[in-house]
A = this chain, B = another copy of it.
Amino acid sequence: MGKSDQDLSTQIAQVLREAILTGQLMVDERLPSEAELAETHGVSRPTIREALKRLAAQSLIRTKRGAAGGAFVNQLRYEDAYRDQITTSTLLLSMNAIDFETACEARFALERACLPLATQRRTPDHLARMRAEIAAQGQEGLSDEGFCASDVAFHRAMVDAAGNPVLSYQLAGAVEAMQPLMNMITFTARNRSEIITRHQYLTDALEGNDTARAEAEVDLLRDYTIKLGQDVKAQRDERSAG
């Protein structure tokens, strides 16, 4: 009646993970030492260590050396969760051949969901952050990567304006994971000008508490971005054909 045919370290990690998820092990509580865990689970210390490394990789525990050291249940922080979500989303997009249009559609649909809240709750600080990024996007000599990075920062500020940390967390993946895809686009001066105009009107709409206008601008931005992606694709196809 063995658990399964998996590694011992996988099984043990699963047991400990359950204990954390169900609250049997509370935040900041100390796990037994590696030697104790080895004894109670009837395995050697390296096996226990491999199990603990698995949990550490998921930010479920942290370890400290020394006398009062050991493995402690980690309070999962938003920053850790953000980071994980972004790398996971990035990998999903790159490894599963998600086309640009699908990713764009999802991104802007999610951002649109923030607008009703953002128009209610945006503070002067949010508006200032957005306008600062707009200014950065208009600067001469800005690289395409720099433009994309500023674009992400602009939208991040917009999402934060909704004042809901859960929304911010969920959208971090969607927005930032798009950046590698966006970086494939070459932005002409005219492209940038069009996008900056949308950003300006969008910021104005938030400032004026005009949800409908903001939604319309996001829709325009989505359509324009998808069109840019299609143009790049068409150019690439043409070049490979000619």
| Minimum CB–CB distance for A104 against chain B, Å | 9
**Interface contact A109-B167, CB-CB below 8 Å:** yes
Within 8 A of B (CB), among A82-125: 84-85, 87-96, 98, 102-103, 105-107, 109-110, 112-114, 116-117
Integer count of this chain's copies in the complex = 2
Indicate with 1 or 0, residue by residue over A42-62, a CB within 8 angstroms of chain B CB atoms: 000010011101111110100
**Interface contact B105-A164, CB-CB below 8 Å:** yes
Chosen A-B contacts, 12 in total, with CB atoms closer than 8 Å, are A20-B91, A50-B53, A60-B91, A76-B91, A81-B89, A92-B166, A106-B164, A106-B166, A109-B164, A112-B113, A113-B113, A170-B174
**Interface contact A76-B95, CB-CB below 8 Å:** yes
Within 8 A of B (CB), among A14-30: 20-21, 23, 27
When distances are taken between beta carbons in the complex, the residues of chain B under 8 Å from A105 are 117, 164, 166-167
| Minimum CB–CB distance for A147 against chain B, Å | 21
* Docked CA distance A201–B88 (Å): 36
Given A88-B84, A116-B109, A164-B109, CB of A170 within 8 Å of CB of B173: yes
| Minimum CB–CB distance for A215 against chain B, Å | 10
**Interface contact B87-A81, CB-CB below 8 Å:** no
Residues of A within 8 A of B (CB): 9, 13, 20-21, 23, 27, 46, 49-51, 53-58, 60, 75-76, 78, 81, 84-85, 87-96, 98, 102-103, 105-107, 109-110, 112-114, 116-117, 162, 164-167, 169-170, 173-174
Given A57-B13, A112-B113, CB of A92 within 8 Å of CB of B81: yes
**Interface contact A110-B56, CB-CB below 8 Å:** no
When distances are taken between beta carbons in the complex, the residues of chain B under 8 Å from A116 are 109
**Interface contact A85-B88, CB-CB below 8 Å:** yes
**Interface contact B58-A98, CB-CB below 8 Å:** no
Given A50-B50, A53-B57, A102-B166, CB of A96 within 8 Å of CB of B76: yes
When distances are taken between beta carbons in the complex, the residues of chain B under 8 Å from A13 are 57
| Minimum CB–CB distance for A34 against chain B, Å | 12
Q: Identify the closest chain B residue to A105 (Cβ).
A: B164
When distances are taken between beta carbons in the complex, the residues of chain B under 8 Å from A58 are 57-58, 84, 88
Given A75-B95, A81-B88, CB of A165 within 8 Å of CB of B21: no
